[in-house]
Amino acid sequence: MKKVNKLENFIDLLSQKSINYHDFLIKSSEIDEIKFDPKDFNMWHASGLEVVKKDNGKVTIATKDKEIKDEIFCITDIETNGGIKEGQIIEIGAVKLKNGLVLDKFESFIKADFIPEEISDLTGIKVSDLDNAPNLATVLERFKLFLGTSTFVAHNVKFDYDFISKSLEKLDYGVLLNRRICTIELARRTIPSAKYGLGSLKELLGIHNAHHRALNDAISAAIIFKVALERLPWTVQTVEDLIHFSKTAKSVKIVEKKE
């Protein structure tokens, strides 16, 4: 936990202010997850974080000043055959959005040797569906290129982000460093509802597509994300404003009265 906090605290620092280049190198070199030369900004970008050096020599990240309308958001969903320790990803779906418009989509099965019956019942995915699918390394390499430095968005983002990041780390591709937003947290602050599960919000917003399939769920989360963006206060202008708002703004959740 200490390692994760150190990395997150460093990125949070960069999201709030520009720091001296020398300090940037020292702080980043002390983080175990940063396994590349911190002077190589291309490697930061390849890991998902758009680190920039300003004309004054100070370092920050692009999302600190980038307006929401100019950012690319990658709304992602995964299906797995188990938990993060013992399971693996069996399907990834993602939608790229910029200023409300769909730029691209990503969808792939991933080869796996087993799927528990309860997960097959939930998703409709069977092992036979994965027989001709590419392996995990191939799909994650493709997905990482697709994701780029965009902001990672998901419904319950911690699950999808951490599962993908740890899977990449196990394959020696390095952890994800992308900025991220949870559509559950963002919806709680923009969409009045008693419940914020994906199914509940789909019903509330009239979203009709199959549930528990990666691309369909990513599309549903993208619609929820777009609705939330339309309801932001005018003070939320930059990507970092949006991330902060999604974590700290007052909830608009409807409290159901007990009978």
Q: Could you please report the per-residue DSSP string of 84-144?
A: TTT--EEEEEEEEEETTEEEEEEEEE---S---HHHHHHH---GGGGTTSPPHHHHHHHHH
| Residue 198, number of CB atoms within 10 A of its CB | 20
For the chain, the average pLDDT equals 95
**Domain containing 228 — which CATH number?**
3.30.420.10
Residue 60 included in any domain? yes
Whether 196 and 217 map to the same domain: the answer is yes
Residues 23-37: tens digit of each pLDDT: 999 999 999 999 999
Whether the per-residue pLDDT at 3 is higher than 50: the answer is: no
pLDDT at residue 236 is higher than 80: yes
Residues 81 and 147 in one domain: yes
Q: Which helix (H) or strand (E) holds 158?
A: helix 157-170
User: Is the pLDDT score of 212 beyond 90?
Assistant: no
- Structure-block tokens of residue 240: 């970092």
Q: How confident is the model at residue 234 (pLDDT cuts 50, 70, 90)?
A: very high
Same domain membership, residue 206 and residue 160: yes
Q: Which domain holds residue 215?
A: 68-248
Same domain, 140 and 183: yes
- Are 185 and 232 members of one domain? yes
What proportion of the chain, given as a percentage, has pLDDT over 90?
93
Task: State pLDDT tens for residues 105-160.
Answer: 999 999 999 999 999 999 999 999 999 999 999 999 999 999 999 999 999 999 99
Q: Are residues 85 and 59 in the same domain?
A: no
3-state secondary structure of 154: strand
How many domains, in total, are found in the chain? 2
Q: Which is higher by pLDDT, 184 or 256?
A: 184
Q: pLDDT (tens digit, 9 = 90+) per residue, 56-105?
A: 999 999 999 999 999 999 999 999 999 999 999 999 999 999 999 999 99
